[in-house]
Structure 1
């Protein structure tokens, strides 16, 4: 399973085989069954995960018990609650498997130690964090400035394989619309063809 992780890392940084092996050996493989939680709100997240197989949703449940999905984690995606991880505070997020999944887990203490011991890993983490912030910034701007139809079409274009693995309810929760609104958007799109 670490071969996928190694290939992924080499896309971002130059690193020796020895250092890469040392870094990857710090991960542990965890199998997560469909509907099982990797993280529940209220607990402290002390790890980052690299998805090797399957699909997860990272979400918040509001006071009306409605899910607000921040993102989906599929193969080669990193998942965690960064706020909880960095600040050692109880998570406001849940991470749940949408399929039987496998994930490589890196504990916070191991990550911190390896970032000191292997400077290339510090660079990798910085690059990944920057990419996450850019993605979040773009998502916020899109949610503030684009219609639900535009957001839906962009989601389908950007993540076609992911969209096929999700229910309409999950896509609606990601887009911040009701399932009924998403159905209307889909009917409007079909009517334009």
Structure 2
């Protein structure tokens, strides 16, 4: 149950088995169904998730009622609604598993306890935040400049899981396109 989390930690920081066991003891397994909500807009996020199997999607609804996907967390990654988790204010997005998933869940209190008391976990926390910032900046600046066909090429090059595991509707909402436009562009590539 914890082997993927242990592998994730070992790949990022030097740690012994006792410390790994201590870290893992704070996580609980949660199995979810397809399209199960982990967080709804307006709720306060109190949990962080490590994806053993499956995928978590973070999205919001536009004023027109369309979904706008911000991020996908696949296997071997941590995911949460970071802003709400850190500042304990209502989330402006939804968090949902989009396929049956196995998640390792840690509460906010336990998460920050580990950050403060286990240097290796504090290091991983900084890495998670840095990577999240870099990915969001890449997406913002990349997508502002690119034409629709270039966005699809970018996904093919940098995030192929999106096109192989997700519906056109979800990928289109991530790229800021309609599903019909995405289908048309995919057929051209």
Poorly superposed stretches of 4+, deviation over 3 Å: none
Are the counterparts in 1 of residues 48 and 108 from structure 2 also a CA contact under 8 Å? yes
Counterpart Cα distance in 1 of 2:153 and 2:142: 12
User: How high is the TM-score relative to the length of structure 1?
Assistant: 0.93
User: How high is the TM-score relative to the length of structure 2?
Assistant: 0.95
Q: Are 2:50 and 1:19 equivalent residues in the alignment?
A: no
Q: Are 2:180 and 1:172 equivalent residues in the alignment?
A: no
Q: What count of residue pairs does the alignment treat as equivalent?
A: 189
1:173 is paired with a residue whose SS is helix
Q: Deviations over 1:56-111 (max 9, x none)?
A: 21111111111111111111121101110111001111111111111111111001
Counterpart Cα distance in 2 of 1:184 and 1:160: 17
Q: What are the ranges of 5 or more consecutive residues in structure 2 without an aligned counterpart?
A: none
Counterpart Cα distance in 2 of 1:3 and 1:186: 37
1:65 is paired with a residue whose SS is coil
Q: CA RMSD in A?
A: 1.2
Q: What are the ranges of 5 or more consecutive residues in structure 1 without an aligned counterpart?
A: none
Q: Are 2:9 and 1:40 equivalent residues in the alignment?
A: no
1:11 is paired with a residue whose SS is helix
Cross-structure match for 1:112 = 112
Give runs of aligned pairs for residues 1-193 of structure 1, distance below 5 A. Answer: 1-189=1-189
Counterpart Cα distance in 1 of 2:2 and 2:34: 22
